[in-house]
Chains A and B, each alone.
Chain A
Amino acid sequence: MLALFYIFIAVAIGVSFWQITRILNLREVIATDKDNDTQGKIFLVFGAALYALMIYCLIAMNVIMLPEAASIEGEHDDLLFNITFWLIGIVQFIMQFVLFFFTFKYRGKKGNKALFYADSHTLELIWTITPAVVLVGLIGYGMWQWNNMTDFSEDGAVIIEVYSKQFQWEARYAGEDNTLGLGNVNYIKGINTMGVDMSDLNSQDDKKVTEIHLPKGRKVVFKFRSQDVLHSAYMPHFRAQMNCVPGMVTEFAFTPKYTTEEMRVQEEVVAKTDGINKIRKANGEDEMYVFDYVLLCNKICGASHYNMQMKIVVEEEEAYNKWIAEQPTLASIIK
């Protein structure tokens, strides 16, 4: 494949040089009727090709896209996205068609007269007001959903601190009292890698974990901290993302809707997983991919930015309770 590609490039360069020297001997510099005709037609063909590319992408790439939102707040995100995408898709198809069609239809010819048409307030009003009205709808729905997803109230919620550093995630659960103890980089020492203030009573029952478990159907409020540079906690399946900023605590919240197991048998996920495993097999990979929720870093943070991840497991309430009970408290490990 690669060798072929090199040969292709070499041939292309050779041909271009030969063509360029040949073309440079042509002295015509301004488009003639023949050029207008040819270029107009090429535009039409290009328009068709662009349509083909767009339709192909829209259909064939469906399978690689993220599956439906796995959080309750994400439902409206998906709906708003679909509405917006349909809308811009339709506008895109119409505008590109009109643009290329006009270029073809009105390609110049000697003797043709262009229409002197400098202004039309009616038309301008139409295409100022139409987008304005549509936008009011989009903005309205968008703002409503934004309010909805930035509700970080903590009643009955699971509270988790996600802690970032080059190039690793750590997490801490708030424990029995459901209140996180204070933290600061000055407390980082030995096993206390998250810099938790152990003199704070709230810290004693906090639990440090290596993977995040979430109970299905209960709201989770995340508190993000960073120890060194900016990171961004990106949980694409839940439509959730927030920067981790040194010196401050940022927040995000969502309610998981499907357990990891439920997600694994979901239609879109199965299709995507099959596709991935077909590729992995072809590449001679032994280990097959199974779906898991994942937390990625999505803000450039240094050399290993591309390898900063943590597994997230969503499970039923009982399983979650069992798991969290097994985790040791900070007081028991940090003396």
Chain B
Amino acid sequence: MSEHHHKETFVTKYIFSQDHKMISKQFLVTGIFMGIIGVLMSMLFRLQIAWPEKSFTIVEAFLGSHQTDGIMDPDMYLALVTIHGTIMVFFVLTAGLSGTFSNLLIPLQIGARDMASGFLNMISYWLFFVSSVIMLVSLFVEAGPASAGWTIYPPLSALPQAIPGSGMGMTLWLVSMAIFVASSLIGSLNYIVTIINLRTKGMKMTRLPLTMWAFFITAIIGVVSFPVLLSAVLLLIFDRSFGTSFYLSDIFISGEVLHYQGGSPVLFEHLFWFLGHPEVYIVLLPALGLTSEIISTNSRKPIFGYRAMIGSIMAIAFLSTIVWGHHMFISGMNPFLGSVFTFTTLLIAIPSAVKAFNYITTLWKGNLQLNPAMLFSIGLVSTFVTGGLTGLVLGDSALDINIHDTYFVVAHFHLVMGVSAILGMFAGVYHWFPKMYGKMMNKTLGYWHFWVTIIAAYGVFFPMHFVGLAGLPRRYYTNTNFPMFDDLANINVFMTVFALIGGLGQLIFLANFFISIYRGKTATQNPWKANTLDWTTPVEHIHGNWPGKIPEVHRWAYDYSKVDENGEYVHGEDFVLQTTPLKDGETPS
């Protein structure tokens, strides 16, 4: 890999590239594209929630045969909710976030010339691309796309008689997800192998930046849990197409008894949530990793409690694989299991609290450089706390009973994993844009983008908790059939207005992103004065990352503002690159 002068054509450079930096950009741009679609869908269904069964030209324009006179059909409402969830969780926040930054940063921050297998890395992207295309194609199927909710619980997802979206749309959904899982597994294996084997000289595990730790652990959870989703999907495909009864039993629909005997939907729920819950952390941990780095750099301070942070990442990862049952307190599983899952679930609050406290202590007595990336990181801490705290309510089986599947849940997970992860992703884009494109993004637009986004996020999701506490179930096409919810109409309008503002506000980001690629100011090598190895590579991308030898590492990544006994910076500046050798008499931190 060290020979970086073999001939490149347009195809090998931009399309079937095996260079991790190009692949990361491919993931990012695909993720952004899917994100636009996901957000547009949410804006459409928010219109229906706020102004039920009112005619909208925009609905008429977008939904074709799935609307009547600009009013969306109930089936289509469910389809939009389903595909919005699927796209945002898997295509944007898993592939778009992890795929982008694991690929970009792992080789750069551990000091490797590329991923362990550039070829598999390329395959991983192209499988993701194919699965995205299939998911998008499913939107144009005549009976509509999958519409059983992103959790696709059978029997609803297994029987086209139950909902039209469970026909061809569901088949494509399942095929798309199976390919997606393959992509994700190949990617994760590559990340794990690379981090274990390709660290440069001196880069001990205890000197890895927290981003690396987060990506490493995330990849491990992915490898542990994604195959279970694949098996759930495969069994569902069997039930749908080959007449097996893994999940189905005793069903009477459209006037006839179906042949299924002995299966149980609860089995599917177990399999699904065995991925589904770790998935939350697959989404969140990379975002936390990115912000750990950004907060430390921009505070000009070491991250507080480096080892505690690693410990809490590991604890969260471990616990995340034994809490899936808290999605199933009311599924009909044995109540005793409810107690067990309540116990493990609430334990997660401890490492999560440690992380939040450590972030805040990192800010304390810092010299905060409030760059856009830093704003987004602080925003992440804020929404992570707000959303995380309500987890104490939902994780408690006794309380979950009454708010399960209400808007309280929607508010909780949107804040804690949706908004937080997307803020982390934006932070990462603003911070590492110079590494990706050799250009800087516009600062002022970055500020505007942040403030619009965070205000909209709170405007939508904070009042939503109370709508849930009023007892309103999620995934209702309209609540006008229940007069007891009539007093929620104004709040629904309020939330929709903020959702539309937030959605449109992302145009600022898109403009900034794409224009900066071409017109942005040329970046310097280390614009944020950071310590990690990625900032020692040249601005212009080269194959193999470093010209000449790979640098050697002599210290951890967080020697910011390190002073000697006279209060002077040890190395003359408030940052010390990991490649700087220890001075005589300097104690390693």
A191 at the interface (CB under 8 A from B): no
B175 at the interface (CB under 8 A from A): no
Determine the distance from Cα of A279 to Cα of B484 in the docked complex, in whole angstroms. Answer: 11
Question: What are 14 inter-chain pairs, A to B, with CB distance below 8 A?
Answer: A20-B445, A24-B519, A28-B443, A36-B369, A131-B349, A132-B350, A139-B396, A150-B335, A185-B251, A230-B153, A234-B405, A240-B402, A289-B484, A300-B475
Q: Which chain A residues (20-63) contact chain B, with CB distance < 8 Å?
A: 20, 23-24, 26-31, 35-36, 39-40, 42-43, 46, 49-50, 53-54, 57, 61, 63
CB distance from B332 to the nearest CB of A (A): 4
CB distance from B128 to the nearest CB of A (A): 27
Scan B227-268; emit 1 where CB is below 8 A from any A CB, else 0.
000000000000000000000111111000100001111100
Instruction: Name, among B257, B398, B454, the residue most crowded by chain A CB atoms within 10 Å (CB to CB).
Output: B398
CB distance from B393 to the nearest CB of A (A): 5
B117 at the interface (CB under 8 A from A): no
Which stretch in B278-286, B302-310, B535-543 binds the other chain? B302-310
B3 at the interface (CB under 8 A from A): no
B188 at the interface (CB under 8 A from A): no
A18 at the interface (CB under 8 A from B): no
Q: Which chain A residues (120-144) contact chain B, with CB distance < 8 Å?
A: 120, 123-124, 127-128, 131-132, 135, 138-139, 142-143
Determine the distance from Cα of A195 to Cα of B252 in the docked complex, in whole angstroms. Answer: 10
B141 at the interface (CB under 8 A from A): no
Name 6 extra pairs, CB < 8 A, besides A39-B370, A165-B252.
Answer: A39-B375, A107-B368, A108-B368, A124-B308, A230-B155, A289-B483
Which of B257, B342, B558 is in CB contact (< 8 Å) with A142?
B342
On whether A64 and B488 interact (CB within 8 A), knowing A118-B558, A142-B342, the answer reads yes
Which stretch in A85-93, A171-179, A321-329 binds the other chain? A85-93
Which A residues lie within 8 Å of B458 (CB)? 50, 53
Which A residues lie within 8 Å of B251 (CB)? 185, 227-228, 246-247
CB distance from B54 to the nearest CB of A (A): 8
A103 at the interface (CB under 8 A from B): yes
On whether A118 and B589 interact (CB within 8 A), knowing A16-B508, A185-B257, the answer reads yes
Total contacting residues, chain A, CB less than 8 A = 127
Determine the distance from Cα of A278 to Cα of B527 in the docked complex, in whole angstroms. Answer: 59
Which B residues lie within 8 Å of A85 (CB)? 393
B118 at the interface (CB under 8 A from A): no
B136 at the interface (CB under 8 A from A): no
Which B residues lie within 8 Å of A107 (CB)? 368, 370
Scan A194-211; emit 1 where CB is below 8 A from any B CB, else 0.
010000000000000000
A9 at the interface (CB under 8 A from B): yes
On whether A289 and B331 interact (CB within 8 A), knowing A31-B369, A57-B466, A124-B305, the answer reads no
Scan A239-272; emit 1 where CB is below 8 A from any B CB, else 0.
1111101111010000000000000000000001
Which of B299, B364, B462, B497 is in CB contact (< 8 Å) with A5?
B497
Scan A58-83; emit 1 where CB is below 8 A from any B CB, else 0.
00010111100000001011001100
Determine the distance from Cα of A118 to Cα of B308 in the docked complex, in whole angstroms. Answer: 11
Total contacting residues, chain B, CB less than 8 A = 142
Which of A77, A106, A123, A298 is in CB contact (< 8 Å) with B366?
A106
B74 at the interface (CB under 8 A from A): yes
Residues of B within 8 A of A (CB): 51, 54, 73-75, 78, 148-149, 153, 155-156, 159, 162-163, 248-253, 257, 262-266, 299-308, 330-332, 335, 338-339, 342-343, 346-347, 349-350, 353-354, 356-358, 360-361, 363-371, 374-375, 378, 381-382, 385-386, 389-390, 392-393, 396-399, 401-402, 404-406, 440-445, 447-448, 451, 454-455, 458-459, 462-463, 465-467, 469-471, 473, 475-479, 481-484, 486-489, 491, 497, 500-501, 504, 507-508, 511-512, 515, 519-521, 527-528, 558, 560-563, 567, 574, 589
Which of B155, B406, B475, B507 is in CB contact (< 8 Å) with A16?
B507
Determine the distance from Cα of A31 to Cα of B431 in the docked complex, in whole angstroms. Answer: 12
Instruction: Name, among B306, B332, B402, B441, the residue most crowded by chain A CB atoms within 10 Å (CB to CB).
Output: B402
CB distance from A180 to the nearest CB of B (A): 16
Determine the distance from Cα of A106 to Cα of B300 in the docked complex, in whole angstroms. Answer: 11
Determine the distance from Cα of A131 to Cα of B301 in the docked complex, in whole angstroms. Answer: 26
Which A residues lie within 8 Å of B155 (CB)? 228-230, 246
Determine the distance from Cα of A63 to Cα of B486 in the docked complex, in whole angstroms. Answer: 12
B401 near A240: Cβ-Cβ < 8 Å: yes
Determine the distance from Cα of A127 to Cα of B349 in the docked complex, in whole angstroms. Answer: 11
On whether A247 and B507 interact (CB within 8 A), knowing A29-B442, A236-B402, the answer reads no
